[in-house]
Structure 1
Amino acid sequence: MLRENIQDLIALAAVAEERSFTRAAARLNVSQSALSHTIKALEHRLGLRLLTRTTRSVAPTLEGEDLLATLTPCFETIEARLRALDEGRQHPTGTVRIVATEYAIETLLWPKLSPLLKQYPSIRLELVMDYGFTDLASAQCDAGVRYGEDVSDGMIALRIGPDERMLCVGAPAYFAAAGVPQVPQDLTRHACINLRLSTHGGLYAWEFQDAAGHDIRIKVSGQLCFNTVGVLLPAVLDGHGLALVPDCLAAPYLESGALQSCLETFSPAFPGFHLYYPSRQRPSSAFGAVLEALRL
């Protein structure tokens, strides 16, 4: 019943405010005859006369005034809320806290969100670096970033990055001295730079895949071990051994010839970074702007 009457009630309020069918029809962008028919239909359904019509003016009846006394504050509240939502869309404000790996922050979040912060000075952003599978509630974060295959059930996941590959790379001088691995198992005889991440609870086993799609996990060894991806490449460039790194990090060095890759046929693509957040979350205007900026 309410859904059927809402447009008619808006029409009634317009006529009562304008005290004229002509002016109200122009305001609502409808014909005067159509507006008159709408009001008559509403009066017929309610079984009440809501407007008193004379040749010079239109005024609410007592029943009409009683109805409008209830309607007007409701309409004003709705209009004020809609204006606030529109202003929030145009001028988003608030704090957004995102947890992600250093690699995701440097290569994906910051390049996309830096222009957003300049566009909307009222948005405050906090980026928390963590390699663990962070619980958003306990960390008091609005969202997190993980590879698509690692997003927990019950979360909304928004793809923010393309598919990726992990490439085994080394300096040309290293390959010249130690040779080029032909299969993943050859890595056990090479100096490899290890990665210790909290998500794995120990040293990261290098992951590959054979032609049949079977997973291959190789535990490598060498002089060096880090707990962040960002420092792997300088060590590789200095000739300390091989490293397994995301393809987008290695790309500039491969193009320049500073590094070479190997075992590419054993390096399949996997789902790229996704932003995840609770499905029950009601996005703020700032969070909504961040979502749009990160959307792939």
Structure 2
Amino acid sequence: MNIIHPAHVPGYALRAIPPLTALLAFERAATQLSFRRAARDLSLSPSAISHQIRGLEAQFGVKLFVRGARSVRLTADGERYLAKVAVALATLQDAGRDMLQHRRDASSELWISSLPFFTSAVLLPALPDFKRRHPALTLRIEATHQYADFNSSRVDVAIRYGREHSTGLKFEPLVTVKGLPVCAPALVKQGLRTPEDLSREVLIHLTTQPRAWPAWLKEAGLSHLVPRGHLWLDSVPAMLEAAEHGLGVTLAMAPLIKTRPGYGKRLVAPFAFEGAYHETIYLVSRTEQARDRRIGALRKWIMEAVARAK
């Protein structure tokens, strides 16, 4: 009687390997000890991260996390699994980087992942200058609010708010920005003079920054102000266009808003009050590409473009 070991059954060994999406969700959540931060890193919802991890726990029949009201921590099984998963994912990342690096080295293309308003206010006006300096290089610009995945994409540099700790990435400050209320001149003529007058106006929000207006109102001492209404849009250009059409008041990115055509005419800042809260926009690149001449040329061009836009 021949006995076949289960490991020799086609596909048997693969049953112990969960989907990559689940492994990535687990690694991010275990490293950050936060489903919310893991969700942000992977451009998913916290419930999606939780679903992936529950799938792993069901597959292996163990608890990987102890879930508290406001935090999570790894169980002993979770810590043991993380040690091996992290090594496996690092091996996959190295293999992917090697493939992408080989392709990039032979390529004349450079990929930029940039915030939409930064793209329109800073990068696009400076493109003719880049082409004049580097005619052999082609730029591919993705205007998005999503965090760039340097491990699995072709992104060479990213332009992002905030400095998140990430191994292998270099963060260089580009510009400090503040939220500046702006509106059409007609609203000012109708009596919009002070922050208190916002109670008669519609506030225009960016869907990816729901705390922007509440933070500004808190600084102005108006945490409990109730506006006439709210308008939510998914891009900064759409917000600014809505404000120009007199649909309400929105928060622009100062000082970069000054580069927008029509600023001071079709779009004005109605208040003298200026909050202290600010954020920094960073240029993010791989530390391993620090000596890449193409990345160096891109970095120099972006920093000079920012200096002209201030």
TM-score between the two structures when normalised by the length of structure 2:
0.52
In structure 1, the gaps of 5 or more residues are 1-91
Between the aligned partners of 1:191 and 1:108, the Cα distance in structure 2 is 28
Cα shift at 1:97: 0.8
Q: Please identify the structure whose Cα radius of gyration is greater.
A: 1
| 1:86-108 residue CA offsets vs partner (Å, 9 max, x unmatched) | xxxxxx97321110122111222
Give 3-state SS (helix, strand or coil) of 2:160's partner. Answer: strand
Between the aligned partners of 1:215 and 1:145, the Cα distance in structure 2 is 32
Give 3-state SS (helix, strand or coil) of 1:267's partner. Answer: coil
Match of 2:124 in 1: 110
Give 3-state SS (helix, strand or coil) of 2:240's partner. Answer: helix
Cα shift at 1:220: 6.2
Cα shift at 1:116: 2.1
Match of 2:193 in 1: 180
**Residues 163 and 282, structure 2, Cα contact 8 Å, conserved in 1:** no
Match of 1:121 in 2: 135
Between the aligned partners of 2:272 and 2:223, the Cα distance in structure 1 is 13
Q: Counterpart amino acid of 2:300? A: E
Match of 1:294 in 2: 302
Between the aligned partners of 1:226 and 1:196, the Cα distance in structure 2 is 6
Match of 2:184 in 1: 171
Cα shift at 1:221: 6.9
Q: Counterpart amino acid of 2:233? A: F
**Residues 206 and 220, structure 1, Cα contact 8 Å, conserved in 2:** no
Give 3-state SS (helix, strand or coil) of 2:207's partner. Answer: strand
| 1:167-204 residue CA offsets vs partner (Å, 9 max, x unmatched) | 11122322343643434xx645421222212xx4x675
Q: Counterpart amino acid of 1:104? A: F
Match of 2:115 in 1: 101
Pair 182,103 (structure 1): closer, same or farther in 2 beyond 3 Å: closer
| 1:107-138 residue CA offsets vs partner (Å, 9 max, x unmatched) | 22233343122222221211112112222223
Match of 2:264 in 1: 255
Say if 2:251 is the partner of 1:244: yes
Match of 2:203 in 1: 192
Between the aligned partners of 1:95 and 1:215, the Cα distance in structure 2 is 48
After superposition, residues 228-239 of structure 1 pair within 5 angstroms as 228-239=235-246
Say if 2:155 is the partner of 1:141: yes
Q: Larger relative CO (CA 8 A, sep 6+): 1 or 2? A: 1
Q: Counterpart amino acid of 2:108? A: G
Between the aligned partners of 1:262 and 1:205, the Cα distance in structure 2 is 15
Cα shift at 1:210: 6.4
Between the aligned partners of 2:221 and 2:127, the Cα distance in structure 1 is 38
Match of 1:280 in 2: 288
RMSD over equivalenced CA pairs, Å: 3.5
Between the aligned partners of 2:303 and 2:122, the Cα distance in structure 1 is 11
Between the aligned partners of 2:228 and 2:163, the Cα distance in structure 1 is 26
Pair 217,223 (structure 1): closer, same or farther in 2 beyond 3 Å: closer
In structure 2, the gaps of 5 or more residues are 1-105, 305-310
Pair 172,282 (structure 1): closer, same or farther in 2 beyond 3 Å: closer
